[in-house]
Amino acid sequence: GRPAHLDILGQRYPTDNITNITPSILAKVPLRLHTRPKHPIHTLRTIIESHYPDFAHHSSLSPVVSLYKNFDELSFPSDHPGRAVTESYYVNKDMMLRTHTSAHEVEVFRCGEDKWLLTADVYRRDEIDGSHYPVFHQMEGARIFSADAAGMAEAAEDNARLRAHLAQAHVVIEDVPHVTPTNPSQPTHDPAHSALVAENLKLSLNSLLLALFGPATGAAAPLRVRWIEAYFPFTSPSFEVEVFFRGKWLEILGSGVVRQATLDTANVPNKMGWAFGLGLERIAMILYSIPDIRLFWSTDERFLSQFKENEITTFQPYSKYPSCFKDVSFWTSQCVAPHENDFCDLVRDVAGDLVEDVQKADFFVHPKTNRTSLCFRINYRSMDRSLSNEEVNEMQSQVVSRLQQQFGVEIR
Ligand code: PHE
C-alpha cells in the first residue's frame, strides 16, 4: 500500500490515489548532481554559465511544484499527454515533481530578472535503456527586452555583435525563417519585433553551441547546426536545434519566443523575449563519451575520480560486466494491463541501477478470451561488478511477486 505521506527535502506532503513516486525516485531527489564539483553535469553547467556572464544563475529551486506551475501557467491544455499519471511523477493531486525547468519561468520573470539561467533536476516516467533515466538535468535560459523601440534597439545591437562573432567562426548553420504562417508570431507582437527576438535567440544559442561543440570536433570540417520549426504551448514561434556530431544529428534543445501570457502572469507585461531549455545529460554523454546514462549516478571511484573541475575530458570506460537477461510473461485483462512505464518503475524500485534495459518482448491479445499476454525482457547488469545468479534470481522473483500483487496479473 501507499504511505500516508511523502517527505521530500524536509517537507511533508499528504498522498492520495494518484501518488506514484516510488522510493527509488525519492532517493534521487537530494542528490542534485548539478551542484557536485567535478561531476560532468556540474562542469557542463559551469561552462554554459560562463558563456552567459551577465545572466543571473539559479540552481536551488525545489523540484516539488504545483501542477498549475508545471502546466497551466505555461498554457498547457488540460488534455496534454504530459499530464498523464503514466508520464509524470505525482506527489498528490496538487503537487508533482517538475517535468521541465520551464516550470520556474513565471517566478523568475516575476522577480524582475531580464537575463537568467536556471539549472535543475527534472523527472519524467520513461522506459529503461542506456539513454533514458527518470531523473535528468535541464538548464533553462531566458532573456527579455522591453517591448518598445529601446528594447528592440538593444536586441538589434546585440544581434549585430553576435553576427560579427559568428561570421568569423567555423560553423555552418541551417536556418529556418524566424516567423512563418506555421510558426507564427503572437497576435500581440509586431512580427518585426518577434523576428528580432527570434534572431537574438538563434544567435545566442549558435554562439553557445560553437563554444561547446566547436573545439571538441577539432576536425577540419565546420560544426553543423540545424534549426527546425517546433511547437511548445508556451512559446511562439518555437524551434528545436540539432547539432551534427560524430556522424549523427543530435537533438539538443527546445526554444522559442515566450508567450505573452507567461510574461503577463509574471507581472512583466511590457517585456518580450526568448527562452530555451536544454538537457545536460544528452550533451555531457556526447562531450565526455559517457556510454550509459546510469553512470552519472555512479558512486564508483573508477567513475568519479576521472573528472576534473571546469574541464571536459574523455571518459575511459572500465571493464563491462556480463549481462543477465530474464523474461517475465503474464496474462492480464486488457483494461488493467500495466503501462510499460508502470512496469519500468516497478523494476527500478526492485533493482535500481542494476537494471540496464527493459524491452517489451511480446504482446498479443487472445482472440477468444480477449486477454492480453505481455512479455518483458529485463537486462540485469551492474556497471561496477559482476552480479551473482542468486542476486539476479532474487530480484527477478521480487519483480514477479510485485507484478502479481500490484497488478493482479497471472504469470505464464
Ligand atoms: N521545456 C521544454 C522541454 O522540456 C523546452 C523548452 C524550454 C522549450 C523553453 C521552449 C522554451 O521540452
pLDDT tens digits, residue range 134-156? 999 999 999 999 999 999 999 99
Report CA torsion sign: 145, 147, 150, 155.
Answer: positive
Instruction: Pull the grid cell for residue 127.
Output: 522506459
Residue 371, pLDDT score: 85
Residue 334, pLDDT score: 62
Residue 218, pLDDT score: 58
**Burial class of residue 296, CB neighbours in 10 A (0-12, 13-18, 19+):** buried
Distance 223 CA to ligand 1 centre (A): 23
Q: How many CB atoms lie within 10 A of CB 283?
A: 24
* CB 76 less than 6 A from any atom of ligand 1: no
* CB 255 less than 6 A from any atom of ligand 1: yes
Q: Specify the pTM.
A: 0.93
CB 278 within 8 A of CB 201: no
Q: How many CB atoms lie within 10 A of CB 308?
A: 10
Q: Please identify every stretch of the chain with a pLDDT value under 70, giving residue numbers as ranges.
A: 215-220, 334-335
Phi/psi of residue 226, nearest 5 degrees: -125, 130
Nearest-angstrom CA–CA distance, 285 and 283? 5
CB 353 within 8 A of CB 25: no
Query: What is the maximal distance between C-alpha atoms in the chain?
Result: 72
Distance 334 CA to ligand 1 centre (A): 35
Q: Complex ipTM, two decimals?
A: 0.99
Residue 163, pLDDT score: 96
Residue 251, pLDDT score: 92
For residue 9, CA distances in Å to 18, 23, 93 come to 20, 14, 19
* CB 254 less than 6 A from any atom of ligand 1: yes
Nearest-atom number in ligand 1 for the CA of 105 is 9
* CB 275 less than 6 A from any atom of ligand 1: yes
E strand or H helix that includes residue 24? helix 23-26
387: Cβ contacts below 8 Å, ≥ 6 apart = 321, 322, 324, 354, 380, 381
Nearest CA to ligand 1 atom 7: 277
Nearest-angstrom CA–CA distance, 308 and 121? 22
* CB 19 less than 6 A from any atom of ligand 1: no
Distance 277 CA to ligand 1 centre (A): 4
Residue 216, pLDDT score: 55
Q: Where are the beta strands (DSSP E) in 91-182?
A: 95-97, 115-123, 135-146, 171-174
Nearest-angstrom CA–CA distance, 163 and 50? 20
Distance 307 CA to ligand 1 centre (A): 29
Residue 205, pLDDT score: 97
Of 76, 102, 274, the residue with max ligand 1 atoms within 8 A of its CB, to mutate for a pocket test, comes to: 102
Residue 338, pLDDT score: 84
Q: List pLDDT tens digits, range 182-214.
A: 999 999 999 999 999 999 999 999 999 999 988
* CB 235 less than 6 A from any atom of ligand 1: yes
Nearest-angstrom CA–CA distance, 377 and 362? 9
For residue 88, CA distances in Å to 49, 210, 285, 360 come to 28, 33, 24, 20
Nearest-angstrom CA–CA distance, 110 and 123? 24
194: Cβ contacts below 8 Å, ≥ 6 apart = 178, 179, 185, 186, 237, 257, 272
